[in-house]
């Protein structure tokens, strides 16, 4: 029976070609992103051979954008940004303004309308955090002060581009475009520009308030209820439903972009105790659809632009490698930091990536940007990402050249150390505080706590993963009575952080992070025999007796281990296991 296999062929060929070319790119010390883009070019309509379905690939790319932004939100760290805020905030904002204005001015002089020129400026003003992190990891520079500054700078850029994704649809009319069918409730062309801006920001504010006030109360609870089922596939499905569902719902109800909705979904789940599990389970799909996004972007590229309009391509490359980098270098120097810091930030910004593609696609969807503009952005990305390792090498040589001469070193490094040393001290203080806090309040993960409990130490990886989904979290303040003698048994408690005291008869037994108590709830039906009082702000993971019975029904082979442990304690309750057999 004949049927359409365009979706199967698009995904299959896209993945296969992206894998081959991504692997080749990695082997020649280029980011795999270059291979993904080239794969898209090869299966696109502008090159001979197999042509993938562009409509399907664009929809798959939209999912890729949502999952990319969900991952950004899930790993967003305000602490990392605050550590370098004095240089990253003014520097990134100033650099975006200067780069956008300069690029828009150049293209307007070349005959472009102001709307496409501004979109081009925004596309070229932001660098790829993914490419930067890879470059820093290869040079062991992520944890250095200059590396922290560069990463913080790009985080500010990412946040600014999130705001741009909100404002571009609202100002589509002013910029010479139109409202896309799937988003927006009006543009600045419909009336006063300030009214439109106010309405747009009001809708975004309403969405943010609802997402941040209601989301942290509802979504982690939903995730917890799903986790208690012990089903890994249901848990993964719940994470994807939250990410894609909030993205789609926010676009339909508030007129914000899918990307912004997915970003806030990640931020909301970041507050959950299951955020690490959500990140782990969603990462494979996030990576897969991100590859499809880059492949889809590559399909839009027409290589003919390289020989038809080489001067425009050179202009874009020059604005990325020279214009934007010089703007960043000047800003860092004006802020009073050493030349080595300015060169590191400049090299970090000498490329464009994922946000540039998202902005360009959004501009095309609203009729502001052109296909020629997208081709120029893609050409600039391919060239700048390819030569970025060379830019870093040149930067390192320039730093060595400055430090080799005492006069140059005194002028560009030693005389400009005041603010840098202050920032370095702030970073070191933050590191020391974090180390002291970790030492004083060692926090154990659920995985570590499960391994420390004798009953669970020999579980298989599959059994342990299912068990972890049953864990719940609880907190206690100093003085709280967690267990009262005579209470019915319900949970076993694993101390993730803090300290408690077990009071039995006239004995007082302190327990700290990594210990456990109340384990007889899993083995016996007898009432509690001791009081347990919190001595510090404490956090626990707990396992309910009913959930444990469900776990035993799923993995009956571990019942012998439970019986052996109970026999050792002399607390065997045959009724508990008899009930389990009846249920089984």
pLDDT category at 228 given cuts 50, 70, 90 is low
pLDDT category at 171 given cuts 50, 70, 90 is confident
Q: What is the pLDDT of residue 276?
A: 64
- Which option is the CATH number for 6-410: 3.30.420.10, 1.20.1530.20, 3.10.450.50, 3.40.630.30? 1.20.1530.20
Please give the residue that has the higher pLDDT: either 138 or 91. Answer: 91
All CATH 2.60.120.10 domain ranges of the chain, comma separated, are 446-583
- Which option is the CATH number for 446-583: 3.40.50.200, 1.10.15.40, 3.40.50.2300, 2.60.120.10? 2.60.120.10
- For 164, residues 6+ apart whose C-beta sits below 8 A from its C-beta are 122, 359
Of 142-156, 246-260, 443-457, the one with minimum mean pLDDT is 246-260
Q: What is the pLDDT of residue 318?
A: 92
Placement of tokens 């327990």 in the chain: 511
The answer on pLDDT for 298 being more than 50 is yes
The whole model's pTM is what? Answer: 0.64
Q: What is the pLDDT of residue 426?
A: 79
User: How far is the C-alpha of 108 from the C-alpha of 131, rounded, in Å?
Assistant: 29
pLDDT (mean) for 551-572: 70
Nearest residue to 427 via CA among 94, 112, 146: 146
Q: Please give the mean pLDDT across all residues of the chain.
A: 78
Helix, strand, or coil (residue 172): coil
CA distances 227 to 31, 239, 273, 285, 521, Å, are: 36, 11, 11, 19, 21
Helix, strand, or coil (residue 54): helix
- The predicted-structure confidence for 330-380, as pLDDT tens digits, reads as follows 999 998 888 888 888 898 888 887 778 888 888 888 888 888 888 898 888
Helix, strand, or coil (residue 40): helix
The answer on pLDDT for 488 being more than 50 is yes
All CATH 1.20.1530.20 domain ranges of the chain, comma separated, are 6-410
pLDDT (mean) for 26-38: 81
pLDDT (mean) for 545-555: 83
pLDDT category at 319 given cuts 50, 70, 90 is very high
User: How far is the C-alpha of 230 from the C-alpha of 247, rounded, in Å?
Assistant: 26
CA distances 191 to 171, 180, 194, 379, Å, are: 11, 18, 9, 37
- Buried b / exposed e over 89-118, threshold 16 CB at 10 Å, is bebbebbbebbbebbbebbbeeebeebbbb
């Amino acid at each position: 029976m004949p049927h359409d296999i365009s979706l199967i062929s698009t995904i299959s060929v896209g993945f296969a070609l992206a894998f081959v070319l991504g692997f080749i790119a990695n082997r020649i010390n280029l980011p795999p992103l270059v291979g993904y883009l080239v794969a898209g070019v090869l299966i696109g309509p502008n090159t001979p051979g197999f042509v993938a379905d562009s409509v399907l690939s664009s929809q798959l790319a939209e999912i890729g954008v949502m999952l990319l932004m969900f991952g950004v939100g899930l790993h967003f760290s305000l602490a990392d940004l605050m550590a370098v805020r004095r240089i990253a905030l003014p520097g990134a904002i100033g650099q975006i303004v200067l780069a956008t204005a300069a690029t828009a001015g150049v293209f307007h002089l070349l005959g472009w309308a102001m709307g496409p020129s501004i979109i081009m400026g925004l596309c070229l003003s932001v660098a790829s955090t993914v490419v930067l992190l890879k470059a820093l990891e290869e040079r062991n520079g992520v944890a250095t002060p200059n590396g922290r500054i560069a990463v913080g700078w790009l985080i500010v850029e990412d946040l600014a581009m999130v705001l741009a994704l909100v404002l571009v649809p609202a100002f589509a009319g002013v910029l010479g475009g139109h409202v896309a069918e799937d988003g927006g409730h009006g543009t600045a062309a419909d009336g006063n520009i300030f009214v439109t801006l106010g309405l747009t920001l009001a809708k975004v504010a309403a969405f943010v308030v609802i997402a941040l006030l209601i989301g942290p109360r509802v979504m982690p609870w939903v995730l917890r209820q799903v986790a208690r089922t012990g089903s890994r596939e249901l848990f993964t499905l719940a994470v994807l439903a939250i990410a894609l569902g909030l993205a789609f719902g926010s676009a339909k109800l508030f007129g914000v972009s899918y990307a912004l909705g997915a970003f806030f979904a990640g931020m909301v789940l970041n507050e959950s105790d299951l955020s690490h599990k959500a990140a782990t389970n969603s990462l494979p799909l996030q990576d897969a659809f991100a590859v499809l996004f880059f492949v889809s972007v590559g399909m839009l590229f027409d290589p003919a632009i390289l020989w038809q309009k080489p001067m425009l391509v050179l202009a874009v490359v020059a604005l990325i490698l020279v214009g934007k980098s010089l703007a960043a270098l000047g800003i860092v120097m004006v802020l009073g930091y050493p030349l080595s810091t300015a060169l590191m930030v400049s090299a970090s910004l000498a490329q464009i990536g994922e946000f540039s593609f998202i902005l360009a696609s959004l501009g095309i969807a609203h009729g502001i940007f052109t296909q020629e503009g997208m081709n120029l952005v893609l050409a600039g990305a391919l060239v700048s990402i390819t030569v970025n390792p060379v830019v870093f090498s040149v930067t390192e040589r320039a730093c060595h050249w400055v430090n080799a001469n005492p006069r140059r070193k005194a002028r560009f490094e030693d005389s400009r150390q005041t603010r840098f040393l202050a920032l370095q001290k702030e970073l070191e203080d933050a590191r020391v505080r974090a180390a002291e806090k970790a030492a004083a309040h060692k926090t154990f993960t659920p995985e570590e706590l499960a391994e420390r409990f004798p009953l669970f130490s020999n579980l298989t990886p599959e059994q342990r993963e299912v068990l972890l989904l049953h864990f719940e979290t609880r907190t206690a303040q100093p003085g709280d009575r967690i267990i009262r003698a005579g209470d019915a048994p319900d949970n076993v408690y694993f101390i993730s952080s803090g300290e408690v005291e077990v009071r039995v008869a006239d004995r007082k037994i302190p327990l700290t992070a990594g210990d456990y108590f109340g384990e007889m709830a899993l083995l016996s039906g007898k009432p509690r025999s001791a009081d347990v009082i919190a001595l510090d702000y404490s956090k626990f993971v707990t396992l309910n007796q009913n959930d444990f019975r469900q776990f035993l029904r799923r993995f009956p082979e571990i019942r012998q281990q439970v019986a052996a442990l109970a026999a050792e304690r002399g607390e065997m309750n045959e009724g508990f296991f008899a009930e389990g057999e009846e249920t089984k």
